[in-house]
Amino acid sequence: MIKADAYGLGAVAVAGALEVLDPWGYGVATVDEGAELRAAGVDRPIVVFTPLMFEDFPAARDARLTPALGRADAIRRWAEEGGGSWHLGIDTGMSRAGVQWRHVGALRDVLTAHPPEGAFTHFHSAERNDGTREEQERRFERALADLPAPPRVLHAENSPAVERRAPSPWSVVRPGVFLYGVGSGPGAALAPEPVLHVRARVVDLRTVPDGETVSYDGTWRAAGDRRIATVAAGYADGYRRSLGNRGTALVRGEAAPVAGLVTMDMTMLDVTDLACDIGDVVTLVGRDGRRLLDVEGVARAADVSPYELLTGFRLRMPRVYVESDAANQDAAGDAAGGGAGEAARGGRVRGGGARITERG
């Protein structure tokens, strides 16, 4: 699944990285997302999982996309317009899109005339050990039994389901957020490697005297003289405003708390007890030395889901992609001491993971 610009990491680049795995295909949410991949040379099947309006059909057909359909009128219209392959979405409890599992039999005539290449469902709580996934699978199996003929491609598992069971009983699986370094917590048999690092530079340093405030609304007040570093990244870059007074960044591998509200373009850190200079690279998400600020932890501090945090970095963060053999390198350390990284005070910093974003 590389919808939402590959969860904020860049769909074209991520597709290129995933090609070595020889995937069956890719999943997107919109025709424009699929067309972007086609323009970049992706030739595998691309399934559009959000239901399309009829006026989107010509563009989907021209880009050789595979829509997810669940209504008789949409299936007929797609076939009449020569659309090609499509997948039947079956709602087994998500109540979002697709034909309800109880009503698949009512589509028998249209499915006989226009059989789907594939059929799928979507789990709403696969990370929970509450029996809902098993119930949805039973519903899926009952719905499949009502089809005139079994489709060639069947799929159900999202990331949490993939993490908890292998092999799949279906044709393919649909890993999503797992690919971007986010796991689903206790009970998972697999744990992802972190692949995202968000970094920015210190652009200002000042000593704030006892009792002075920092940032909007004066929510942070210095207890004694404090040294404050200003980092060139804010909520317009995807670093959430809610991390004000709650978030933590890494400066030379050491933790520095966010001081005051995160502003649109800048974030302030309390670096009183740390070595820090203007131009230093600060890690807002990811690894620096032995410390890791994982996506889940940063999202928890921001009171958002990891999905929201990741997709928020689509805004104006420039992206630097790094080969996987650099995954264990420390970007800040390399930059300061030579090696694989570029100079910390010039250009972008490379190393330290499959992808680094840097602002400033």
What would the pLDDT profile of 105-124 be if each residue is shown by its tens digit? 999 999 999 999 999 999 99
Coil vs helix vs strand at 291:
strand
How big is the chain by its Cα radius of gyration, in Å?
Answer: 24
CATH number corresponding to 3-180: 3.20.20.10
Q: Tell me, what's the pLDDT at 290?
A: 95
Q: Give me the phi and psi of 19, to 5 degrees please.
A: -60, -30
Q: Do the Cβ atoms of 203 and 278 come closer than 8 Å?
A: yes
- pLDDT (tens digit, 9 = 90+) per residue, 188-240? 888 899 999 999 999 999 999 999 999 999 999 999 999 999 999 999 999 99
Please determine, for residue 257, whether its predicted confidence score (pLDDT) is greater than 50. yes
Q: Tell me, what's the pLDDT at 166?
A: 81
Q: Which is higher by pLDDT, 283 or 339?
A: 283
CA 61 to chain centre: 27
What are the residue numbers of the active site? 3, 216
Superfamily the domain 196-359 falls into: Lyase, Ornithine Decarboxylase; Chain A, domain 1 (2.40.37.10)
Q: Using CA of residue 301, residue 307, residue 309, residue 310, what is the dihedral sign?
A: positive
Please determine, for residue 343, whether its predicted confidence score (pLDDT) is greater than 60. no
The rounded mean pLDDT for the chain is 90
- Residue boundaries of the structural domains of the chain: 3-180, 196-359
Q: Give me the phi and psi of 186, to 5 degrees please.
A: -55, 145
